Structure 1
């Protein structure tokens, strides 16, 4: 096989974020939805600077050292910065030249700049004096000032002239304490004003004895990594809490600022804030535009039409457990109601026949009904065991909070070993009826989280399949030991595909089987849907399959390192990326198997972290009706010519633009499930 090549993961991620931006640029997307996509783009970029930019900076430094063999793609850091700069220009252009004028056509005025309409002036001043002023904390800067700008918080640098002397002040913009936007309704007109500008308009009231020479916005983004020793043996919860306190004190990776800050002020700021290693980036006047997610205007005709949740008709009267024992049931969120998942845990909490409940929790909802059901179950005398992953990035604090609450009610809490995250999405309920043990379980592609279930596309299988659920039970027994998988700690899984045990090996075998069929001249095909595709062993095997004649279709939402459509390497591979109203999140694996397809769902992307550093679970779909349902949904997605883009050999997002019947897959899936 020829030497394979791969896209860079970070540049690929930035191209995914560009795809988000493309939705904001599309005039066919309802206006308020376009504003939401601007928010998502900004939020994603902030996370990139917190999580990935520190890695790029470190690689750049190590690559340049003569005593180190680490090498990175030439000009990787420059390429990333160039991509971001181009996207930021496009962002500003679509906002100023397209979205704001269109808002105005609908009598919605997003006010920005140095003045505001006279008719709302009194409202703004009253709001400033009664609400905003209480949160302002000006700090005068000198080289000796002890001031640390918080991560991704908004500030002004204000240049003052006080009795002939120049002063520099840092002034907070309290967008965490107050809404970022202030709305004033005037008859048929709506005015929306940035909190930033409300403060700008009243600087003379904040500094009454000074002349304001300039006011410049900025924010600092900090490294978000948490340093946990792989072999740490103490209390993981306590260690994490200590590290979380340090997260917002991390190294500055980006100093984003309004242009035209005077040189002498910039020199002072860089020194006081220790910005030597930060990317210094000139932006606009307004940062943290992820706050657009809370844009304070609601309008049905400027938003997507609502899709009422579909009730799952497979659930009979009586208990949910009775339905599951009769046949497997699948729930497709967010198209179908999540109530049946909540019902699964609620019924288990009060059912007198339930003796044991096991569940993995990765990202817990902030007001989790599932966790409350688990705590009720423990209070009702049931043995409840919860593996809660404390190391779920940016959800650590919330997960720690819930772990403490559950522990206090008698829930048995398991934490994963420090170097290994548990990302599996499984639950098991054991009932004892007339002396016999009955199993019912959930196996899912997404978290047991009712909040994200409202906008993440996932699949949750409800099953009483004893073969699979006994393996789920074995997994919980293993996880309770808090040891790493290895020769001395190994389980043979025959039905489930479990990372660290057999997942990669089984996927390679399934691909090899299709390769053998192709070599025999028979039909061979693979369809895979996932969030991220990075791991080189599995990508190389897909390249090998392509060269053998296997037809491979990939639906990859975010990072994709595989390069499709290259003669002699990947000519039989096609990749599409779908971005629409819901976040595509489910993982689906389909292998042709001589016309009797094997279908797997699960929690695992094909990334290094999922394959080598996490416990993941993928599971077969055995029920023929459900299998066909999954195949139909995937077929609809492969036919998408509205929201799908092809990822070409240059990493570009290329609209499908064929002349076939219009198919927007999420809309089509909703109609399919409704029928």
Structure 2
């Protein structure tokens, strides 16, 4: 029987719409609302780079063979529904920006010239800036003169300018002028009226095109942007892994177009000419406004001293036991610790690696790194550890989309320092967030483990909500060691089928089975008339068998509560899902933690880890979830989840207060 599923792409678009709604919320500070517009635009760019190629490809297949659709395949109507949804959201975006935020900025004495041209009294300043700074960056490309096709950069901005030689106005030519990404998108301008004026770089270039085209009549200029396919198959790699990934990154920037974004006021004849030049299909042509790349709004200048325009400065609290301990590794041997980010300081994670790097008794360090911070203290600590003579083994996932180049850069540095590097397993990503430190104690060893729901990345730790468990539990740490032994083999999981994990849930080995068994146990309890409940917090819910199991649980009388931030393919409004509570939280921080709570007739089991319930996580990745055995730490996770289920709008403030109270 077919399992009712909601389309993943439409679900993701509804999430991005929730981001857009934050920009319309008057309770959100002004410049934070502008940042939400930036996030919406950045998210949509990634959608066109990653998901749209798959939708277009499936659409082409179904046009040739309508019977080729699988149970989860989008129908031919899906593409149109996706584009209609995006167009509605873009229209709403414009109304929020021009109808709400620009007037709100005016009330604060801020003028952003948006489609109105620059004020004449500012002409001298903008001309000087153009002549001294901007002009040197401009590279006009005369499309009507070229015999060879021009290849626009991915997501770069260009002005399409139509010009005619003076004296022959009917002889129009088409020129592409880059809007330099190496310059700031916005220029602040002092003005006699006391207003804080901001101009788009685009408009500064438009206003001074006569300096670029002397002897020509300038007719019109329109902004365009091409987004290219980024979904390169990096699963099957052989030979020198670093070289192959570096090559694939370069190819990504040369991918086929998935969106040609153009100014909707552009005439059809010019649009068709450009589509032919850049090999963009009709369904890849997307009308837009005068400005593109509005993700740059994240860098919109703000007047000094403007009050109430940002969220109040958050002050992460100190984890008191870690702060009081002279040696964190010794404290972990005595008790488990649980860190709640970003409400608590990230210092204990940094200390974990820093202490291990210099402790004379530490002999071995193991860690998985998925997205490394650009200025990573953790990577630097691992380099120091290797230079101090310790055996440091690091699994670096080179296929972490859009972070490959940064991961490669750090990989080379660590390798030079003597760190043993393990690279990507063919056909599989390692998404687990785990670290293990081994210290010699005479003839014995002690083990300190670190398992997190998010990356070991001190940059994202400031605004991603995650949990980090420090533990010396013998069963957990020994299984972590087994996992690292497996990762060093770089073999497929079936070659290591004999590995048995009793404490850890490890995707490819026991995770899917154990999650299914724990839900089945709740179903059995409900059928016996016992209390039964499943509570899950994840980023994405898409895997078919897990959705089917949640339907089955609810039909059996199990209470099901879900916090799903982004993609949610569980179909609501149908009998199978009746009574399932679903909460989506979009707020100041990015909800990123994965937590799983099973009632178990009062003997609750609580897990946390890296795994979402998606096909890729449960079937094509190495993920790790860990049981939280300490009763007090379990209660902390349960309390935080309860706060989020109770109030999806002010949950951030409630959790901040809760964490301050428990420490």
Q: TM-score, normalised by structure 2?
A: 0.96
Whole-angstrom CA distance in 2 between matches of 1:618 and 1:294: 37
Q: Please report how far the alpha carbon of residue 478 of structure 1 lies from its aligned counterpart in structure 2 after TM superposition.
A: 0.4
Q: Please report how far the alpha carbon of residue 69 of structure 1 lies from its aligned counterpart in structure 2 after TM superposition.
A: 1.8
Match in the other structure for 1:253: 258
Match in the other structure for 1:659: none
The worse-fitting range, judged by mean Cα deviation, of 478-487 and 138-147 is 138-147
Match in the other structure for 1:425: 433
Q: Please report how far the alpha carbon of residue 113 of structure 1 lies from its aligned counterpart in structure 2 after TM superposition.
A: 2.3
Pick the aligned partner of 1:561 from 565, 569, 574.
Answer: 569
1:146 aligned onto 2:149? yes
1:611 aligned onto 2:589? no
1:170 aligned onto 2:173? no
Q: Please report how far the alpha carbon of residue 340 of structure 1 lies from its aligned counterpart in structure 2 after TM superposition.
A: 1.2
Match in the other structure for 1:294: 299
Deviations 1:484-521 (A, max 9, x none): 01155441100000000000000000000100110001
**8 Å Cα contact 1:549/1:572 also seen in 2:** no
How many residues are treated as equivalent by the alignment?
Answer: 650
Deviations 1:110-146 (A, max 9, x none): 1122422233322212211121111110010126243
Whole-angstrom CA distance in 1 between matches of 2:393 and 2:172: 63
Match in the other structure for 1:304: 311
Whole-angstrom CA distance in 2 between matches of 1:421 and 1:365: 19
Q: Please report how far the alpha carbon of residue 277 of structure 1 lies from its aligned counterpart in structure 2 after TM superposition.
A: 6.1
Whole-angstrom CA distance in 2 between matches of 1:103 and 1:451: 29
Match in the other structure for 2:29: 30
Whole-angstrom CA distance in 2 between matches of 1:440 and 1:573: 39
1:274 aligned onto 2:279? yes
Q: Please report how far the alpha carbon of residue 323 of structure 1 lies from its aligned counterpart in structure 2 after TM superposition.
A: 1.4
Secondary structure at 1:193's aligned position in 2?
strand
Whole-angstrom CA distance in 2 between matches of 1:376 and 1:78: 54
Secondary structure at 1:528's aligned position in 2?
strand
**8 Å Cα contact 2:235/2:428 also seen in 1:** no
1:381 aligned onto 2:389? yes
Question: Matches of residues 333-372 of structure 1 in structure 2 within 5 Å?
Answer: 333-372=341-380
* CA-atom RMSD in angstroms: 1.4
Whole-angstrom CA distance in 1 between matches of 2:544 and 2:212: 57
Q: Please report how far the alpha carbon of residue 317 of structure 1 lies from its aligned counterpart in structure 2 after TM superposition.
A: 3.0
Pick the aligned partner of 1:444 from 444, 452, 467.
Answer: 452
Match in the other structure for 1:159: 162
Whole-angstrom CA distance in 1 between matches of 2:422 and 2:588: 36
Q: Please report how far the alpha carbon of residue 68 of structure 1 lies from its aligned counterpart in structure 2 after TM superposition.
A: 5.7
Match in the other structure for 2:631: 624
Match in the other structure for 1:241: 246
Secondary structure at 1:301's aligned position in 2?
coil
**8 Å Cα contact 2:59/2:76 also seen in 1:** no
Q: Please report how far the alpha carbon of residue 238 of structure 1 lies from its aligned counterpart in structure 2 after TM superposition.
A: 1.2
1:197 aligned onto 2:203? yes
**8 Å Cα contact 1:62/1:68 also seen in 2:** no
Q: Please report how far the alpha carbon of residue 263 of structure 1 lies from its aligned counterpart in structure 2 after TM superposition.
A: 3.5
* Structure 1 or 2: more helix by fraction: 2
1:666 aligned onto 2:662? no
Whole-angstrom CA distance in 1 between matches of 2:512 and 2:391: 33
Secondary structure at 1:75's aligned position in 2?
helix
Pick the aligned partner of 2:483 from 454, 475, 478.
Answer: 475
Q: Which runs of 5+ in 1 are unaligned?
A: 644-663
Q: TM-score, normalised by structure 1?
A: 0.94
Q: Please report how far the alpha carbon of residue 183 of structure 1 lies from its aligned counterpart in structure 2 after TM superposition.
A: 1.1
Q: Please report how far the alpha carbon of residue 422 of structure 1 lies from its aligned counterpart in structure 2 after TM superposition.
A: 0.1
Q: Compared with structure 1, are the counterparts of its residues 261 and 74 closer, same or farther at alpha carbon in structure 2 (3 Å cutoff)? A: closer
Q: Please report how far the alpha carbon of residue 70 of structure 1 lies from its aligned counterpart in structure 2 after TM superposition.
A: 2.4
Q: Compared with structure 1, are the counterparts of its residues 224 and 271 closer, same or farther at alpha carbon in structure 2 (3 Å cutoff)? A: same
Q: Please report how far the alpha carbon of residue 295 of structure 1 lies from its aligned counterpart in structure 2 after TM superposition.
A: 1.1
Deviations 1:239-259 (A, max 9, x none): 111111111100101000002
1:263 aligned onto 2:268? yes
Question: Matches of residues 411-560 of structure 1 in structure 2 within 5 Å?
Answer: 411-486=419-494, 489-560=497-568
Match in the other structure for 1:95: 97
Q: Which runs of 5+ in 2 are unaligned?
A: none
Match in the other structure for 1:601: 608
Pick the aligned partner of 2:219 from 213, 220, 229.
Answer: 213
Q: Compared with structure 1, are the counterparts of its residues 68 and 563 closer, same or farther at alpha carbon in structure 2 (3 Å cutoff)? A: closer
Match in the other structure for 1:60: 59
Q: Please report how far the alpha carbon of residue 357 of structure 1 lies from its aligned counterpart in structure 2 after TM superposition.
A: 0.3
Match in the other structure for 1:660: none
Match in the other structure for 1:18: 17
**8 Å Cα contact 1:547/1:572 also seen in 2:** no
